[in-house]
């Protein structure tokens, strides 16, 4: 039997605890390679190398950034100041305005509209006076003319009677006929021949319609894609990591095609099943025409002596038909070439050189009927030395991204008559080939999205104001597209040592 002193036992226990701690740390470090790295405090990272960054153990549910405990308190204080200086001050300023009586608040506008009513009253009175004066004149002229006709008729009858009396060559019939003529003339003189009708004068008061104008709402940035990611969970989330797919091209609310090289797989999100569509050659743009149930495909030739090709592609039968093949008068340097296109409902919009062509695709041979096409050329379509890189259409507007050869590109919002409503200079000098320009549901705005050296995700509302989508940019979203009232995003997620590719579908909030 062995006996140990108390000091020996204490030292042994300390040694054992230390060994266990070393083993635990060794285990953690060994497995760090397969554990997602800990997020650093967003504020600490901005303080430079002289300040050691702390782990971001607290997540802000608003901006989705991580903070240490110290800077989380500072972040909340900043938010409180922002609420006080931004919203509360704005409310107080508005309270001062809304406390003023309406005739003082809107005195200038009411004065202008009262002046309009007074002018309308004077103009109406003057118009009635002129109408009455003209009616009086016409009445006298008409009565005088009718009286003169009756006088001439009396003279003719009197001459006829005098001739009979002078010649004494009359019989019973002549007497009856002259008697009836004088009787008729007497009746006509006793019956006033002019009938008066006054149109447009009513015994009722004229009502001046007062129309209350609805002011277009200002669309804050949180009403766009960022809001979906903050306020919703996806309706559907599908892991597509087991198949290599290309760019998303929705066919319907349930079917999404993915174009990559020559393959065209389609994902049915209603039952999470894949369909294999016929192969399609490598194309630059692929657009689904729901009205015709087929794709429009734009194929770049890649050769200086060959034009680009535009054709229709039926994904169910595999039939491919090139369009405008015989009608293109193309030669090197002429510049008339298919560059981009878009489809919206029954409309097909094609950029052909410096011209914009809007076709109504009511049948599959739509391109054979010129009466279905509306064309715009320079300077309406674009100016000299400009190229239209993207065009989209919705129920209200056209959106165009235009590039000048030595200036920054710009986004044009135009009405359906091609009049420019807003022009916004973009901060991208180079426009990537895979750039997305999307019309958001309900014609509520336009989304520009691309990943690359200068990744961008922003929305321009219909007033031309830009709203950066910061949550999209800070996430791992790689693609965005729109189908009716659905927003479809593609993102990858890191889970330990593996990366996963997901499709998520969100409902647009009306």
Instruction: Express each pLDDT in 222-263 by its tens digit.
Output: 458 888 888 888 999 999 988 878 889 999 999 999 987 778
> Rounded to an integer, what distance in angstroms lies between the CA atom of residue 192 and that of residue 188?
7
Average pLDDT of span 80-86? 87
Give the span between the Cα atoms of 144 and 444, in whole angstroms.
69
Instruction: Look up the CATH number of domain 222-507.
Output: 2.120.10
Beta carbons within 10 angstroms of residue 299's beta carbon: 18
The candidate with the shortest Cα–Cα distance to 457, out of 441, 471, 442, 439, is 471
Given pLDDT bands bounded at 50, 70 and 90, which one contains residue 206? low
Cβ atoms of 378 and 391 closer than 8 Å: no
What pLDDT score does 178 carry? 82
What is the per-residue pLDDT for 205? 55
Query: What pLDDT, in 10s, does the model give residues 307-336?
Result: 888 999 998 888 999 987 644 444 444 457
- Report residue 401's pLDDT band, with 50, 70 and 90 as the boundaries: very high
- DSSP-derived letter for residue 434 is T
Start-to-end CA distance of the chain, whole Å, equals: 83
In 3D space, the residue among 61, 64, 72 whose CA is nearest the CA of residue 472 turns out to be: 64
Is the pLDDT higher at 330 or at 451?
A: 451
Q: Would you state the pLDDT for residue 210?
A: 55
Q: Are residues 446 and 439 in contact, defined by beta-carbon separation less than 8 angstroms?
A: yes
Please give the average per-residue pLDDT across 82-99, as a whole number: 86
Question: Residues 178-200: pLDDT tens digits?
Answer: 887 887 788 778 877 777 777 65
Cα-based distances in Å from 437 to 64, 83, 104: 26, 34, 46
Greater confidence (351 vs 16) lies with 351
Tens-place pLDDT, residues 135-160 = 888 888 888 888 888 899 899 889 98
Long-range contacts of 254-261 (CB under 8 A, 24+ apart): 256/483, 256/488, 256/503, 257/286, 257/288, 257/315, 259/283, 259/286
Which tens digits make up the pLDDT trace of 59-75?
Answer: 888 878 899 999 999 99
- 482 SS3 class: strand
Q: Can you give the pLDDT at residue 219?
A: 47
Q: Given a cut of 80, is residue 213 above it in pLDDT?
A: no
Mean pLDDT of the chain: 81
- Residue 214 — pLDDT band, cuts 50, 70, 90? very low
Contact of 54 with 68, CB cutoff 8 Å: yes
- Give the pLDDT score at 325: 65
d(CA 147, CA 261): 95
pTM (global) more than 0.85:
no
pLDDT of residue 427 exceeding 70? yes
pLDDT category, 165, cuts 50, 70, 90?
confident
Neighbouring C-beta atoms of residue 431, cutoff 10 Å: 17
Phi/psi at 119 (5° precision):
-65, -40
Paired with 47 in beta bridges are none
């Amino acid at each position: 039997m062995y006996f140990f002193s108390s000091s020996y036992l204490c030292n042994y226990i300390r040694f054992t605890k230390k060994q266990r701690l070393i083993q635990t740390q060794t285990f953690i470090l060994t497995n760090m390679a397969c554990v997602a790295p800990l997020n650093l405090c967003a504020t600490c990272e901005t303080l430079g190398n002289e300040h050691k960054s702390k782990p971001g153990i607290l997540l802000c549910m608003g901006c989705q950034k991580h903070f240490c405990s110290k800077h989380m308190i500072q972040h909340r204080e900043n938010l409180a100041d922002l609420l006080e200086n931004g919203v509360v001050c704005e409310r107080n300023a508005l309270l001062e305005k809304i406390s003023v009586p309406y005739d003082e608040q809107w005195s200038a506008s009411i004065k202008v509209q009262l002046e309009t009513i007074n002018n309308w009253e004077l103009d109406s009175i003057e118009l009635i006076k002129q109408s009455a004066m003209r009616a009086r004149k016409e009445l006298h002229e008409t009565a005088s003319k009718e009286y003169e006709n009756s006088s001439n008729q009396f003279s003719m009858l009197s001459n006829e009677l005098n001739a009979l009396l002078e010649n004494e060559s009359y019989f019973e019939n002549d007497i009856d006929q002259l008697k009836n003529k004088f009787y008729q003339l007497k009746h006509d003189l006793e019956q006033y021949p002019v009938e008066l009708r006054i149109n447009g004068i009513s015994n009722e008061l004229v009502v001046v319609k007062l129309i209350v104008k609805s002011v277009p709402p200002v669309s804050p940035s949180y009403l766009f894609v960022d809001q979906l990611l903050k306020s919703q969970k996806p309706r559907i989330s599908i892991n597509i990591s087991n198949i290599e797919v290309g760019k998303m091209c929705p066919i319907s609310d349930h079917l999404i095609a993915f174009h990559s090289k020559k393959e065209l797989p389609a994902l049915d999100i209603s039952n999470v099943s894949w369909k294999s569509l016929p192969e399609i050659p490598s194309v630059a743009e692929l657009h689904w025409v729901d009205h015709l149930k087929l794709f429009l495909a734009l194929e770049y030739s890649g050769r200086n002596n060959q034009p680009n090709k535009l054709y229709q592609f039926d994904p169910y039968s595999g039939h491919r038909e090139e369009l405008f093949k015989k009608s293109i008068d193309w030669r090197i340097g002429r510049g008339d070439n298919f560059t981009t296109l878009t489809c919206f409902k029954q409309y097909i919009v094609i950029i052909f050189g410096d011209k914009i062509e809007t076709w109504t695709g009511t049948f599959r041979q739509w391109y054979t009927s010129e009466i279905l096409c509306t064309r715009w050329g320079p300077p309406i379509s674009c100016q000299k030395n400009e190229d239209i890189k993207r065009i989209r259409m919705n129920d209200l507007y056209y959106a165009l991204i235009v590039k000048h050869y030595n200036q920054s590109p710009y986004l044009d919002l135009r009405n359906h008559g091609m009049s420019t409503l807003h022009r916004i200079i973009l901060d991208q000098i180079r426009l990537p080939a895979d750039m997305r320009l999307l019309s958001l549901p309900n014609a509520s705005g336009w989304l520009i999205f691309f990943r690359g050296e200068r990744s961008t995700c922003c929305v321009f509302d219909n007033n031309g104001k830009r709203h950066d989508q910061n949550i999209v940019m800070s996430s791992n979203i790689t693609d965005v597209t729109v189908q009716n009232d659905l927003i479809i995003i593609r993102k990858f997620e890191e889970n330990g040592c593996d990366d996963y590719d997901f499709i998520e579908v969100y409902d647009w909030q009306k």
